[in-house]
Amino acid sequence: MKAAVTTKAGNPDVIEIQERPKPEIKEGWVLIKIKAFGLNRSEIFTRQGHSPNVAFPRTQGIECVGEIEEDPSGTYKTDQKVAAIMGGLGRDFDGGYAEFAAVPLEIVFAFESDLPWNVLGAIPEMFQTVSGSLNGALEIKEGETLLIRGGTSSIGMLACQLAKTKGLTVISTTRNPEKEIHLKENGADYALLDDGNINTKLKSLFPKGVDKVLELIGIETLKDSLQCIRPKGIVCMTGILGGSWTMNEFTPMDDIPSLGRLTVYMVDAANLQKDLLQEFIDAVAEGKINLNIDKTFKLDQISEAHCYMESNKAKGKIVVEI
Ligand SMILES: NC(=O)c1ccc[n+]([C@@H]2O[C@H](COP(=O)([O-])OP(=O)(O)OC[C@H]3O[C@@H](n4cnc5c(N)ncnc54)[C@H](OP(=O)(O)O)[C@@H]3O)[C@@H](O)[C@H]2O)c1
């Protein structure tokens, strides 16, 4: 099979297209014929060598969609459409940047859909992240106000749409004035230009602060986001678009406003919402959700796709179709 192998830590050109044997299936695993996969920011960090547990060479890709090629357990019939996500995929064992992947049954999600593969490929990680952050961590409710920090990211754009379908008022941010229009077209009630310090601007719109904040930039803007919430408001840090994992100085009694709440969301195999995936795919098929797919690449364009993601020019999800 063809696989895009990250040969060592480095720039996008360390990913090489190679002929590899099809992965072997262990007991309790299935073989998926991959049709498409979404590209994720964490894969840039891994490629750069910032994921200490990932050894190279490695076929990356933390998610994929495709069809069951072989399932010795008999759980799924051949050609069943499935998604696979996280659980070590593309990190502990070879992942989605290939024509086939062997994965444990626990991370397989069956679905039915006639949507094109590049659309399906955009869904699994993006949906789980947004749904887990908004419903699981922030517990959003109709009538609330939601600030999305890093609003033009694919996660931010989808979060805005899901929040609007639930009846929230959404304020979404970008650093780029030219992208404000895209935030509005995507459904945001307010688009704010983010220079890293927006709490004064935000409080001029919502003097008591907002109910919820989805923080996708991370450490760089987290303290400012905490200043944007009302008492008992919640900030959920889900992303690290700013690129930093660790905050040098954090003084909880100063940095978290009284009664304010800070949480995080991380997709992992244990908190995946299997039943909601089909519901979401159907909502996309019915046109209730617009996925904002920015560009679809081919497998042998994977280095180009990584460069494009790093350029921050995309206004939505980047997908690779096999
Ligand atoms: N917790 C989880 O389980 C989980 C799962 C999936 C993804 N994530 C995280 O969610 C975040 C969003 O992922 P994504 O794939 O949706 O991203 P994406 O689509 O690649 O986001 C691109 C946008 O991010 C903004 N951005 C880039 N660098 C930035 C910086 N230094 N400071 C501020 N904004 C910056 C840019 O927006 P502007 O130019 O418009 O400002 C850019 O257009 C990432 O941090 C990702 O790692 C977390």
CATH for 125-264 is 3.40.50.720
The whole-number average pLDDT for the span 54-82 is 98
* Helix, strand, or coil (residue 62): coil
pTM, two decimals, is 0.91
Q: pLDDT tens, 226-273?
A: 999 999 999 999 999 998 989 999 999 999 999 999 999 998 756 666
Strand partners, 15: 6
> Are 19 and 1 a contacting pair, CB within 8 Å?
yes
Nearest CA to ligand 1 atom 28: 241
Q: pLDDT tens, 295-313?
A: 999 999 999 999 999 998 8
Token pair for 7: 């040969």
C-alpha triplet 218, 153, 109: angle, nearest 5°: 100
Distance separating alpha carbons of residues 115 and 321, to the nearest angstrom: 13
Other beta carbons less than 10 A from residue 263's beta carbon: 15
Tell me the domain boundaries of the chain. 2-123+291-321, 125-264
Q: Where do runs of H (alpha helix) occur along the chain?
A: 41-48, 117-121, 124-131, 154-165, 180-185, 199-205, 219-226, 252-255, 274-285, 302-311
Distance separating alpha carbons of residues 85 and 105, to the nearest angstrom: 11
Q: What is the pLDDT of residue 284?
A: 95
Instruction: Report the residue among 241, 268, 271, 273 best suited for mutation to probe ligand 1: largest number of ligand atoms under 8 A from its CB.
Output: 241
Instruction: Give residue for tokens 């995946």.
Output: 272
Burial state string for 264-288 with b = 16 or more CB within 10 A and e = fewer than 16: ebebeeeebbeeebeebbeebeeee
Q: What is the pLDDT of residue 316?
A: 84
Instruction: Give residue for tokens 């980047």.
Output: 318
Nearest CA to ligand 1 atom 26: 241
Distance 304 CA to ligand 1 centre (A): 18
Nearest CA to ligand 1 atom 1: 266
- The CATH-assigned architecture of domain 2-123+291-321 is Alpha-Beta Complex (3.90)
Q: pLDDT tens, 152-187?
A: 999 999 999 999 999 999 999 999 999 999 999 999
